[in-house]
């Protein structure tokens, strides 16, 4: 009795099923954009998609244009109010997302379906404006397969295979295109930089060092686990205490903020560096940071050679590029990790390194006077200040207390707790009060070697600040006051020692280097680095080097184009050959029918695509050019073909019927 009242769900109509497949594919395309779209845009997109899904389920009519037009105008107005423009990366992507879902509500013809599909493919590409990581590539691959499945589903005109078969077909199309895509990626002649220029807002939201320094700036970076750059050493890896990656030199101080001086190229004879060690050769893969500075171990022998973005050394030994670093950059550098630098700088430059705002930090000035009573030797004064840091109860913390107007006084004599920028700034102010030229240097210190791929990873958490003092006869000397308080910071990378936790400390993401979670992170970093090196950083120089390693001489556009077409032809032939060999054989009756039609074409009777055997027989009977016996043979051939293909024929009699059909074809 229970089965008698059980209602089976009615199967969904084909139109509804196909539309839901398309909506799912569009959702896969739009989903990653929700991470950066304004909240109101994401909510509106989901609402409009839900409205379209409800219309499909309920079988209602699509909204009229007089309803969609005001919605579209208000949506575009909201985009303009949010971004103050309708152009640019963020505004353009938000507008495309809204146009896609609005077009789904305005599908009245087959042409509209293809507009939605092609708009989805284009919007899918814009995801790579924001992320080009492996997870993004995998998700975009899944979205492509979903879109191909939806497109294939709309092509069937009769019986439709199950969704699983259509999904397999979409995946097969994607798989067949992948080898050709790989050939084009490797051999298509590459240009320097991206294929198209990104809008001006494409570099927003990046973290990293700044061209100024205030208390707490670097300590906030120490909370970030993002990669700043990676290094592959050609020689042995220097000791951790020698890994000072120089970035900016901050000389001007207004009482709270440190800023740079104007940068001028270093004159060839203005600085003499006396090396104290063998040169260290290495290659840096720098993540885009939107600034012009480059990183190198102190002290670089010369500026690296970077095609399309000339690099140069400034007079304060900053390494700078001519253009902002907006794309991942790879360059080779050679440095001396131990050196002595003699500088013959004009007095004006040294005067900037002695300036302090009048009336600031009076307690620090008084303390400097007391130190001057103990010694007048600059080297001894440096030692006394470092000794003060060691002997007094200073602490190294990522969460320093707030400082007042006289920040150095508060730090040295009250809070005595801070991060590297607090120690570097206080040390430089003390040196200037003592009459010693000094300046702050920011960059990164340390790094962690990934044992899987051998690359050293320098993260934002390795950001550091130290000091330089100029002593007559010895030039500029690096002094790191943080090492006097927390030597473990210099001996061990912050990124390697910091405890990364989730859920209020319940989950430790880095319990030990040998734990399975740490090994998983290292493997993920190595995989990401390989992706960056071979996919995202596949530059024209790397392409030429790869092709040259295969035995080709001069690699130019002509050679690359010839190789591309040749390899593409080979790949397409390799893909087509198995398909042709495995093609199901044509039915014998159908083959004879095609021969019959070709013979009719010779006498001017061309079968229309929609024309069946009976209609064709009628037209043949009215033809005046054929003999009566030929007409009769053609009539009997078509009747036999129709009975064989569309009638009920015993399988045991099929061979005899095919033989009879062949005789009739011969008679024609």
Which sequence positions are flagged as catalytic?
420, 464, 480
Q: Give the residue carrying structure tokens 């190294």.
A: 396
Closest CA to 21 of 166, 176, 177: 166
Residues 330, 242, 455, 234, CA torsion sign: positive
For the chain, the farthest-separated pair of C-alpha atoms sits apart, in whole angstroms, at: 132
Closest CA to 478 of 295, 340, 375, 275: 340
Burial class (CB in 10 A: 0-12, 13-18, 19+), 312: middle
Quote the CA–CA distance of 442 and 245 in Å, as a whole number: 8
N-to-C CA span, the chain:
65
Residue 50 gets the label, from left (phi > 0), alpha (psi -120 to 50) or beta, of: alpha
Query: Which residues neighbour 414 within 8 Å (Cβ) at sequence distance 6 or greater?
Result: none
Closest CA to 310 of 294, 302, 321: 321
Closest CA to 325 of 283, 287, 284, 282: 287
Residues 166, 171, 175, 180, CA torsion sign: positive
Q: To 10 degrees, what angle do helices 89-104 and 110-125 make?
A: 150
Phi and psi torsions of 96, nearest 5°:
-65, -40
Burial 267-276 (b: 16+ CB within 10 A, else e): eeeebebeee
Phi and psi torsions of 296, nearest 5°:
-160, 155
Phi and psi torsions of 165, nearest 5°:
-65, -40
Query: Which residues neighbour 261 within 8 Å (Cβ) at sequence distance 6 or greater?
Result: 249, 251, 252, 316, 349, 352
Helix ranges (DSSP H) in 353-419? 362-374, 378-391, 407-410
Q: Is 331 helix (H, G, I), strand (E, B) or coil?
A: strand
Q: Is there a contact between 450 and 456 (Cβ–Cβ < 8 Å)?
A: yes
Query: Which residues neighbour 193 within 8 Å (Cβ) at sequence distance 6 or greater?
Result: 308, 327
Please state whether the peptide bond connecting residue 60 to the residue before it is cis, i.e. omega within 30 degrees of 0.
no
Positions of E strands within 143-194: none
Q: Is there a contact between 274 and 311 (Cβ–Cβ < 8 Å)?
A: no
Quote the CA–CA distance of 599 and 181 in Å, as a whole number: 43
CA distances from 408 to 53, 257, 360, 367, 374 (A): 63, 12, 9, 12, 22
Q: What does DSSP say about strands 258-259 and 212-213: parallel, antiparallel, or unpaired?
A: antiparallel
Closest CA to 161 of 151, 152, 171: 152
CB atoms within 10 A of CB 61: 7
Residue 45 token pair: 């997109």
Q: Give the residue carrying structure tokens 């002997």.
A: 391
Quote the CA–CA distance of 189 and 187 in Å, as a whole number: 6
């Amino acid at each position: 009795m229970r089965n008698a009242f059980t209602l089976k769900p009615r199967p969904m109509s084909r139109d509804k099923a196909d539309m839901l497949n398309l909506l799912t594919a569009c959702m896969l395309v739009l989903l990653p954009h929700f991470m950066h779209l304004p909240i109101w845009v994401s909510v509106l997109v989901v609402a409009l998609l839900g409205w379209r899904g409800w219309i499909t389920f309920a079988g209602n009519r699509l909204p009229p244009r007089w309803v969609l037009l005001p919605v579209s105008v208000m949506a575009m107005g909201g985009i303009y109010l949010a971004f103050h423009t309708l152009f640019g990366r963020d505004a353009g992507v938000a507008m495309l997302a809204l146009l896609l879902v609005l077009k789904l509500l305005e599908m009245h013809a087959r042409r509209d379906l293809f507009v939605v599909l092609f708009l989805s493919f284009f919007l899918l590409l814009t995801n790579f404006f924001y992320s080009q990581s492996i997870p993004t590539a995998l998700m975009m691959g899944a979205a492509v397969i979903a879109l191909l499945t939806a497109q294939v589903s709309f092509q069937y005109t009769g019986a439709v295979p199950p969704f699983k078969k259509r999904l397999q077909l979409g995946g097969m199309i994607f798989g067949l295109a992948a080898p050709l895509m790989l050939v084009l990626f490797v051999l298509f002649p590459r240009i320097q930089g991206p294929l198209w220029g990104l809008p001006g807002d494409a570099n927003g939201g990046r973290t990293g060092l700044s061209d100024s320094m205030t208390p707490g700036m670097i300590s906030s970076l120490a909370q970030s686990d993002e990669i700043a750059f990676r290094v592959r050493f050609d020689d042995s890896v220097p000791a951790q205490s020698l890994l000072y990656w120089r970035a900016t030199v901050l000389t001007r101080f207004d009482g709270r903020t440190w800023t740079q001086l104007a940068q001028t190229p270093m004159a060839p004879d203005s600085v003499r560096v006396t090396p104290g060690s063998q040169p260290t050769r290495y290659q840096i893969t720098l993540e885009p940071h939107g600034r012009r500075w480059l990183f190198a171990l102190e002290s670089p022998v010369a500026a690296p050679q970077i095609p399309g973005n000339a690099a140069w050394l400034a007079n304060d030994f900053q390494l700078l590029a001519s253009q902002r670093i907006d794309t991942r950059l790879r360059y080779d550098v050679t440095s001396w990790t131990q050196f002595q630098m003699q500088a013959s700088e004009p007095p004006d430059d040294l005067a900037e390194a002695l300036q302090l705002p009048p009336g600031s930090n009076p307690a620090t000035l008084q303390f400097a006077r007391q130190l001057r009573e103990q010694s007048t030797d600059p080297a001894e004064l440096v030692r006394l200040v470092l000794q003060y840091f060691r002997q007094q109860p200073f602490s190294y913390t990522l969460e320093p207390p707030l400082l007042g107007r006289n920040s150095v006084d508060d730090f040295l004599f009250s809070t005595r707790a801070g991060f590297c920028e607090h120690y570097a700034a206080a040390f430089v102010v003390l040196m200037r009060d003592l009459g010693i030229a000094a300046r702050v240097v920011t960059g990164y210190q340390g790094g962690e070697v990934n044992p899987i791929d051998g690359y050293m990873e320098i993260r934002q958490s390795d950001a550091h600040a130290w000091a330089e003092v100029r002593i007559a006869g010895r030039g500029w000397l690096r002094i790191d006051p943080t090492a006097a308080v927390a030597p473990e910071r210099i001996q061990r990378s912050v990124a390697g020692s910091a405890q990364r936790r989730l859920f209020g400390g319940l989950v430790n993401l880095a319990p030990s280097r040998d734990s399975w979670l740490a090994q998983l992170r290292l493997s993920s970093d190595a995989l990401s680095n390989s992706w960056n090196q071979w996919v995202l950083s596949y530059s024209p120089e790397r392409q030429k080097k790869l092709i040259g390693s295969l035995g080709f001489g001069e690699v130019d556009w002509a050679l690359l184009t010839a190789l591309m077409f040749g390899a593409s032809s080979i790949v397409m032939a390799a893909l087509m050959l198995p398909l042709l060999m495995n093609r199901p054989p044509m039915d014998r009756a159908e083959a004879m029918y095609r021969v019959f039609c070709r013979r009719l074409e010779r006498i001017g009777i061309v079968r229309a695509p929609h024309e069946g055997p009976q209609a064709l027989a009628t037209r043949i009977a009215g033809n005046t050019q054929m003999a009566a016996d030929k007409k009769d043979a053609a009539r009997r051939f078509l009747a036999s073909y129709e009975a064989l293909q569309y009638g009920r024929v015993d399988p045991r009699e099929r061979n005899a019927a095919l033989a009879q059909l062949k005789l009739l074809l011969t008679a024609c």
